[in-house]
Chains A and B, each alone.
Chain A
Amino acid sequence: MLTSFDIRLLNRVQKNFPVCHDPFALIADELAQPKQKVIERLAELKKEGFIRRLGGVLNHKKVGESSLAALKVPSQKLTQVSDMVSQFEEVNHNYLREHEYNLWFVVTAANQEKLEQVLSEIEATSKCALLVLPMLKDYYIDLAFEL
């Protein structure tokens, strides 16, 4: 179970991780806790799966080309098609969703040509209707939100 300290800690470290020699000392000061406690608890939260990772969240638009896409997969083919999609290393998210278009995934590639190649291959192999939904504009302030 997460304690209220854990939530405070997670909220603090979600954004503006100090980029300096001793970032955890600064965070510990802000939270009025010993540095060792902050480090140990974060390491535990990582180990227990509450934290995916600590690091830079890359801006997809600047490091390669990516697109959200969706397939309309008949239920009897769902396992087969979803496995096929997940096997592409260019696919970094793959979700089942409740809709006629039921398989939703994100493809990221080094360039537009490679991106289109992966999408056509997925479309041809699955023989399912494909929606390609690249981001036209983003409007959110930050990925982090208050827990």
Chain B
Amino acid sequence: MSSILNRVELEKRIIELTQAGLPIESRPFKTIADKLGISESAVVAIFDSMKQKGLVRRIGLVPNHYAIGYLFNLMTVWDIEDSDIDQVGKSIGELDFVSHCYQRPRHLPDWPYNFFAMIHGKTEQEANEKMQQIADLVKDSCSQFTALKSCKILKKTGLRI
């Protein structure tokens, strides 16, 4: 019983400690382990299991797309036939220039769109061309779509819990 509680508590502490990021140094998991007073192997095992359980979507670096030159992120929104949403979602999700895509609720009459896809491009033209590629792909299931250009990032922090 107590070992289960310890495990959950440890996962929480590891998430907290890595929220700002794993250290970029030779033994990154050892640094975390030392802070928690447990072995490096234990931290590695817990990280692995958090990945297996889906608590952690992936482990890797989060690039700053703006700094790297992907200056144009387009949040594209689509009004997709409800019966086609799964099929459309899957095909858009496979496109390599789409970083996230989701089904979200409509709010009629103000908001008719039920599908969101985030597109990244180095130029505005490139981003628009990519949006057009999606439009061609979904033309039979989509009645309208638009893009919401971001003009300013006011706040962006990693997920806090």
A-chain residues with CB within 8 Å of residue B97 when the two chains form the complex:
145
Q: Are A58 and B15 in contact (CB under 8 A)?
A: yes
> Residue A108 at the B interface, CB < 8 A?
yes
**Which residues of chain A have a CB within 8 Å of any CB of chain B?**
2, 10, 13-17, 19-24, 35, 39, 42-43, 46, 48-60, 62-64, 66, 68, 82, 85-86, 89, 91-99, 101, 104-105, 108, 110, 129, 131-147
Q: Are A54 and B64 in contact (CB under 8 A)?
A: no
Q: Are A93 and B156 in contact (CB under 8 A)?
A: yes
A-contact bits for B131-161, CB 8 A (1 contact / 0 none) = 0000000000000001011111111111111
The answer to whether A140 and B98 touch (CB under 8 A), given A95-B150, A145-B120, is: yes
A-chain residues with CB within 8 Å of residue B98 when the two chains form the complex:
140, 145
Q: What are 26 A-B pairs with beta-carbon distances under 8 A?
A: A2-B69, A10-B63, A15-B58, A21-B27, A22-B26, A23-B29, A24-B24, A43-B25, A55-B21, A56-B18, A56-B56, A59-B57, A62-B54, A63-B55, A86-B154, A86-B155, A92-B155, A92-B160, A93-B156, A98-B148, A104-B75, A140-B100, A141-B94, A142-B58, A144-B58, A146-B96
B-chain residues with CB within 8 Å of residue A56 when the two chains form the complex:
15, 18, 47, 50-51, 56-59
A-chain residues with CB within 8 Å of residue B4 when the two chains form the complex:
none
SS class, residues of chain B in contact with chain A = mixed
Complex formed: what's the CA distance from A84 to B50 in Å? 35
Q: Are B103 and A135 in contact (CB under 8 A)?
A: yes
Q: Are B44 and A19 in contact (CB under 8 A)?
A: yes
Q: Are B68 and A2 in contact (CB under 8 A)?
A: yes
